[in-house]
Amino acid sequence: MMSLAHFLMKFRERIRARYEEYLVITIETLASAIIGFSIGALVLYILGFNPAKIYFILFSKGLSNPNYLLSKSTPIMLTGLAFAIPMLAGVFNIGGEGQLYIGALISLIVVTSTHNPALGILAGMVAGAALGTFKAVLKVYRGVNEVIAAIMLNWVMYFLILYLLTEKLYNPQIPHESIPVPEDARLGKIPTPIGDIRLIFFIAVIASLIIYYILYYTNIGYMLRVAGLSPKTAKYAGFNPNLAIIYSMALGGAMAGLGGSLLLIGYVYSIDTTMSTLFGLGFTGIGVALLGRNNPIGIIFSAIFFSMLIIGGEMIELLAGAPPELADVLTGVIVIALALPYMYRMLISYMRIRRLIKK
């Protein structure tokens, strides 16, 4: 009896403690979205479009095809994780782009030779993790800034793949495409109440949940978060902050690599030689992670939201002739608006100090 009462008390306490936090986060996120859409409307109005009509197209078309929506959300969900996990450990990983490329490339090579999708996916994850670890090791042992390393390596990966696609891995029948993933190794769709949905979406969701579990329910995740918030405290507790950096980059890289291989094996089946199937997915992941507040569960939803914006953005161009960059403008403004509460708090504390000093 005692323990039950105790448990209930604790449970209530936990909810009450988190309740305010969650409420604030929800309000801030919604407010940022509203600000983003309002500014977007203003831009549209100035450009001579009817904002209501454009937004109607954006939402209705963006959400009209669940399979398309969720398939498109898959890679950016995973590159979102690739940014969020290192961020929690205090590392700025903008290398999701390159990690996604290498994941796609390696799984293409493995899957065409083994015809085994699981092996292909695994290889893609390992490749992404290896690239992430490499950057972490450079940072920890050689003091190389992770952002600069990522920018350089992103381009190295880009041109490496471009070279391999055009010189070695191209499809003899369709020279502007890579050799395709063998039919027997492709991942398909599974039936659901909202229609057939690609398997890769569910894999990505499961990956997000696993990451959530690792971050919040295992010692590695705990150490990683402690190190990210306060490296000195990590050292005091006997954790090695450098190890946290390496783990987080390995884990993040694995997620981006997974994104690349899922996209390839379960959706596009080949890469075109202009790289348009892959380009930008890593960078979009940064926005996804920011909107999802670096929380793996939040990232699932923000990836779907971003996917809607991307799809809707394409339709705006087709149906209303509005510039396709509108989707980019919207996402940009929303991400900036998300930073507003932080700025607002900084401003308030600054003013308070000013007032105290004047007194």
Partner 1 sequence: MSEEKRRAVEMLNISKIYPDGVVALRDVNLTVYEGEIHGLLGENGAGKTTLMRILYGEIKPTKGKIRLFGRKVSFHGPWDAIRHGIGMVYQHFTLVPTFTVLENLHLSFTSVEKKMSESMIRRNAEKLMKEIGFEVPLDAIVEDLPIGVQQRAEILKILLRKAKILILDEPTSVLTPIETRELFKTLKKLKEKGITIIFITHKLREVKEITDRVTVLRKGRLVGTVETANVSEIDLARMMVGREVFLKISKKPAKVGRKVLETVNLWVKDDRGLDAVRGVSLDLYEGEILGIAGVQGNGQKELVEAIAGIRPIIKGRIIVDNVDVTNKSTVERYRLGLAYVPDSRLVGLVFDMSLVENTTLTNLHKVLTKTKRILWDKASEIAVKVVKELDIIAPSLGAPVKYLSGGNQQKVMVGREIVREPKIFIVAEPTHGLDVGATEFIRKTLISLRDKDKAILLVSTDLDEIMQLSDRIAVMYEGKIVAIGKAEEFSVERLGLLMGGVKA
Q: Under the rule (CB under 8 A), what is the footprint of partner 1?
A: 10, 13-14, 16-18, 217-220, 222, 225-226, 229-230, 232-233, 235-238, 352-353, 356-357, 359
Any residues with CB less than 8 A from the CB of 310 and at least 6 apart, and which?
Answer: 72, 284, 327
Shortest Cβ 84–partner 1 spacing (Å): 16
For partner 1, the closer CB: 12 or 168: 12
Question: CB-hemisphere CA count at 13 Å for 15?
Answer: 5
Shortest Cβ 292–partner 1 spacing (Å): 18
Shortest Cβ 205–partner 1 spacing (Å): 21
As given in the structure block, the two tokens for residue 199 are 């398997």
114-131: burial string, b at 16+ Cβ within 10 Å, e else: eeebeebbbbbbbbbbbb
For partner 1, the closer CB: 219 or 276: 219
For partner 1, the closer CB: 159 or 342: 342
Closest CA to 160 of 101, 95, 100, 103: 101
Shortest Cβ 337–partner 1 spacing (Å): 22
- DSSP character at residue 188: -
Any residues with CB less than 8 A from the CB of 283 and at least 6 apart, and which?
Answer: 94, 96, 97
Shortest Cβ 354–partner 1 spacing (Å): 9
As given in the structure block, the two tokens for residue 229 are 């918030």
For partner 1, the closer CB: 218 or 274: 218
294 vs 211: CA distance, rounded Å: 11
For partner 1, the closer CB: 14 or 168: 14
For partner 1, the closer CB: 1 or 17: 17
Closest CA to 62 of 358, 335, 330: 330
195 vs 357: CA distance, rounded Å: 63
175 vs 160: CA distance, rounded Å: 17
Shortest Cβ 15–partner 1 spacing (Å): 9
240 vs 234: CA distance, rounded Å: 7
For partner 1, the closer CB: 14 or 176: 14
CA 223, 226, 228, 230 dihedral sign is negative
Shortest Cβ 52–partner 1 spacing (Å): 41
